[in-house]
Amino acid sequence: MVPALEFDEVTKQYNRWYRPQRVTALDGLTLTVEPGEIFGFLGPNGAGKTTAIHLAMGFMRPTAGRGLMLGKPFGDRKTRRRIGFLAENVALYYRPAEELVRFYGALNDVPGPCLKLRVRKVLEALGLVEYARRNAGKFSRGLLQRVGLAQALINDPELVVLDEPTSALDPVARVTVRELLTNMRNLGKTVFVSSHLLSEVELISDRVAVLNRGRLVRVGKTSELLASDEKLEITVRGIRPDVFPGGQALNGVVKFRIGSQQQRAALEQVWQLGGEVLSVNPVRRSLEQVFLELTAPAPAGAERISHR
């Protein structure tokens, strides 16, 4: 099966008039996004996420390397009709929402008989029916973002590329968008989403990649990244809190955390001391914790990684 998106040693450098050396925004990115998955693309500000997205969409050319989208080179005109795209900063004409979505559908060559139905479906899916005839120039940022999502989905794309799709949405709208993207995945479509809202990405993504300073530092299944170096919280009674590092006593019980590989030895020690084990629970890391660990300042000479 043809990958939905491929970066093969893609590098992007810029010339800056105030700097004698070229600025490297993306450094040898190698990454593959498979069909039918929700892929989270993460990184701090300036990591190169938007540059990578603009390269994939054909808005600029790489300095080195090559990339494919749905099996065709980045920027292929026919392929664009099979893709939906939402930019980080939504810019729309000041026209009624329904007219805007219909306009973008026509630009994507959605057939006339299907266009009316598609417009109604995406407006309903994003809770925009009551705003359909209102001028977008009077919309809040959240409403504009929803209209932007509607235009990204109007052509029923095989692959949708979203740059900060929920940053301006309220909690109810975020749930709506999560359900919509999950349904797309269930239909075999691919969602490539870049976001600073890590809790949102954690809820829906199958895999994530983390960029830092233009380099790929980690890629993998979301569940595996969160489970790595898993810790356990053990609650016991009948021992002193100082038996284990970080032990805390409260209301007659002691709680402490250990690595999962230390579980057996810790439980045996509790029993030898005459203690009673009340519970053993996994402590699941959040995607935010993983992200902070991966984007912390790295030692000099750290090597980039690749994933195909």
Under CATH, which architecture does the 230-283 domain have? 2-Layer Sandwich (3.30)
b/e string for 51-78 if b means 16 or more Cβ within 10 A? bbbbbbbbeeebeebebbbbeeebbbee
**pLDDT at residue 229 in the model:** 63
* Fold category of 5-82+157-226 in CATH: Rossmann fold (3.40.50)
Q: What is the pTM of this model?
A: 0.81
E strand or H helix that includes residue 42 = strand 38-42
Q: Contact, 14 vs 23, CB < 8 A?
A: yes
**pLDDT at residue 302 in the model:** 46
Tens of pLDDT, residues 39-54: 999 999 999 999 999 9
Q: Where in the chain is the domain with CATH 3.40.50.300?
A: 5-82+157-226
**pLDDT at residue 131 in the model:** 96
**pLDDT at residue 56 in the model:** 97
| Cα distances (angstroms) measured from residue 273 to each of 32, 261, 262, 269 | 52, 20, 17, 6
Q: Where in the chain is the domain with CATH 3.30.1490?
A: 230-283
The C-alpha atoms of residue 101 and residue 78 are separated, in whole angstroms, by 20
The encoded tokens of residue 103 equal: 């306009």
Query: Which residues of the chain fall short of a pLDDT of 70?
Result: 19, 228-229, 298-308
